[in-house]
Structure 1
């Protein structure tokens, strides 16, 4: 199927606040408020860990979830090819800083798309964040070795990790998260094939796996599409 990328450049309402968790230009968080008192959604954007893809393409998602009643934090992080530890350090630092930046008493759901799904799965498995209610991984790069063998996005995995193998960053090789994990992946995804998430599910069968029929890669973060309802339904299930 042809992948619809229109959400990546669609105009959306900007965040209500911009929060900082460090001094670098990329150590910033977009924050959309919500009228309801609900658990936060902490979103980690994708883009195959490449510098040219930043958090701005997730603004339609942030706006939509905020309008539906969830406060949303969209994390930016440094993306330096060959230095994955810079990226994971930023994700760790941002999550640890949350209680100093916002009210987290209602807890939060960690959500990541594509490469952001890998980062979210890594964080939930290795950091055990305080007040994490659950994790939703959308079309995640959940098996780095398989994604590397597939040469996704023209060598994105090797560009991210440098060279060799980093099982310590690979969700399929990490322990299962203590918090509940939901996996949502489109059967028509040609950017990150669903077999990558199926590999993770084989290793961690306690996860909740939703196969979104006839859904591509970007529809899961596009509020104008039918598969986005799978995302909001899982958020509702995890946040009550």
Structure 2
């Protein structure tokens, strides 16, 4: 029998540990006038990973829990841009606008990495463009997430309604719809023990997916997790496949 309560406790303990982990901040720079339109840069110059944090699109959950992931990648020799963005319930367009604004200022291709809600946002970079994306435990089907009431109705709140109430928004933004046909350079990674975002959302995606046995939601971004070496290699492999001008 699967002990879902134990996995939930592991996830809570992991995010608490990530929030408590000491370490330096990155170099903070604004890319727009809003206080949430900022980036933190970690590591030496080189091909960049742009990391989009999760938090079920809630305004109260910012990039703090994502810093250990960014610092660990930087320590491993990777340049990381930790992206903050506006999270406005009922208006998903502002998050997309922030990503578009930041992307418009990029001088060369990057690897977009996102976790959870941030994984869903990272996947939007593959819509109608050839962006490289590594989505970790992503909310890869907004309509299904809404109907499952995931995150205590977080997706429904962010989208401003159910798929029936906001059908155009869901059609425009849902990775389950927009990633078909299968885009190149896009990989979804998900753990079988994820209690926050069900693994089926990635398994049923039209995009390529990789399932990690015995991994919960935060194992994929926790440098202390036994899954970390595999995540690190996935990042390195994706960076190596960026166009030559980015290397």
Matches within 5 A, 1:2-151: 2=8, 3=11, 4-34=14-44, 38-99=46-107, 104=108, 107-126=109-128, 128=129, 132=131, 134-151=132-149
Partner of 2:177: 173
8 Å CA contact 1:19–1:29 kept in 2: the answer is yes
Q: Shift of the alpha carbon at 1:14?
A: 3.0
Which segments of 5 or more consecutive residues in structure 2 lack a partner in the other structure? 1-6, 241-247
TM-score (norm 2): 0.85
TM-score normalized by structure 1?
Answer: 0.87
Deviation sequence 1:68-124 (CA, Å, 0-9, x none): 00000011000110000011101111111233xxxx4xx321000000011011122
Give, in angstroms, the shift of residue 230 of structure 1. 2.0
Q: After the TM superposition, which parts of structure 1 deviate over 4 Å for at least 4 consecutive aligned residues?
A: 176-179
Aligned residue pair count: 223
Residues 117 and 140 in structure 1, CA contact (< 8 A), matched pair in contact too: yes
1:17 and 1:32 in contact (8 A); partners too: yes
Contact residue 215 and residue 227 of structure 1 kept, 8 A:
yes
CA distance in 2, matches of 1:110, 1:70: 13
Question: Could you say what the CA RMSD is over the residues aligned between the two structures, in angstroms?
Answer: 1.6
Structure-1 separation of matches of 2:98 and 2:40 = 15
> 1:185 aligned to 2:190?
yes
Q: Is the 8 A contact 1:135 1:179 kept in 2?
A: no
Supply the distance in 1 between the matched residues of 2:16 and 2:40 (Cα, whole angstroms): 21
